[in-house]
Amino acid sequence: MNLKNLSVKNKIPKFLKNKLNDKRIGKIYKKFEKSLGINENFIVAVSGGSDSLALAFLSKIYSIKKKLKVKYYIVDHKLRAESSIEAKLVKKILSKFQINAQILYWQGKKPKKNIQSLARTKRFELLVSKCKKFEINHILLGHHQGDLLENFFIRILRGSGLKGLISLSKKTKLNNVSILRPLINQKKEDLVFISKKVFDFYVKDPSNDDEKFQRVRIRKLLKELKNDGLDKGKFIKTISNLKKSNDVIDHYVNKNLENNTIFLRKEKQLIINDVFFKQPYEVVFRSLSNSLNFVSTKYYPSRGKKIDRIIKDIHKSSFFRSTLGGCLIEKVNQTVIISREY
């Protein structure tokens, strides 16, 4: 293939470029491109809402410009009677824009409690499994500026620590896969604009108005606070400053893991020396949480109260053995051994 043909192959189709030429969309895309900044293939999670449809469009343009391969997945949780119809409709609409999406289904019995949290966990399981299958290291999610603020308030109500308060950051790790949120600094209204302008469509999930869900109640509270003078810009600056502090702690956590643990691949055991537990408490807490996740290969860490209890127990001379997060934790003299629980 000559250079002329190659340039044609990677040229943005006219019907997509016409949308990108809109002044407002073009400005949003430039901000998106700078925020994403990767040169590797990736997966995009599409729900059908305005945020994820905007993400689908922006990432399609990005993939053409950067000559990357992208896989789009719609997760049908089957929690609502109309969810399968909506998923097929979203797939059909995306196909008109050369965005070929595949529908993934949550099989099995559905929960009656803690629905949103469990659905989120299942969604990640399905997406991460596709990453492993196709050797892809990045998943893109459509979280935006509003989600960042909502998450902060939800975490405050849960009594979260520093890491929890800034957990919805631009980049996080899950089972060695990067979870990227390139829209985290974009406004909701801009994403709605793209969905309407490009697709003339987006799904309105009725659960977004159901006040039995905490996130919905928080969203309405934020609207009231905005009317009372809440400055989103200053609030986001506060979150940014907290993240910088969190990065410092993460630096020392990585040092602790590097200097005071050894992983025996054949035995699939993590050996921890006594210096590991002589660091500042927050460093020990995160280091142990990361260690349990690493050995168990689970998607989410154990609850903070349980990790706190284990740390206290390990310091006791009477401690011998316990289990947590799918792991067996044993103490031999001053050494702690973590193995996967079978």
Q: How far is it, in rounded angstroms, from Cα 166 to Cα 246?
A: 8
Q: How far is CA 258 from CA 250, 270, 287, 335, in A?
A: 12, 12, 10, 16
Please report the sign of the dihedral spanned by the C-alpha atoms of residue 204, residue 209, residue 213, residue 217: positive
- Two tokens, residue 210: 């159901």
User: Is-contact 52 43, C-beta < 8 A?
Assistant: no
Mean pLDDT throughout 216-240?
A: 82
Annotation: CATH topology of 3-230? Rossmann fold (3.40.50)
Which residue intervals of the chain bear CATH 3.40.50.620?
A: 3-230
Q: How far is CA 104 from CA 31, 47, 77, 117, 130, in A?
A: 30, 11, 8, 18, 10
Mean pLDDT throughout 275-281?
A: 96
Instruction: Work out the widest C-alpha separation in the chain, in whole angstroms.
Output: 74
- Residue 110 predicted with pLDDT over 80: no
pLDDT tier at 103, thresholds 50, 70, 90: very high
- Residue 6 predicted with pLDDT over 50: no
Closest CA to 277 of 315, 226, 313: 315
Q: What pLDDT does residue 7 have?
A: 43
Is the full-model pTM beyond 0.85?
A: no
Task: Please identify which residue in the block is written with the tokens 């999930």.
Answer: 205
User: Is-contact 172 179, C-beta < 8 A?
Assistant: yes
Q: What pLDDT does residue 216 have?
A: 81
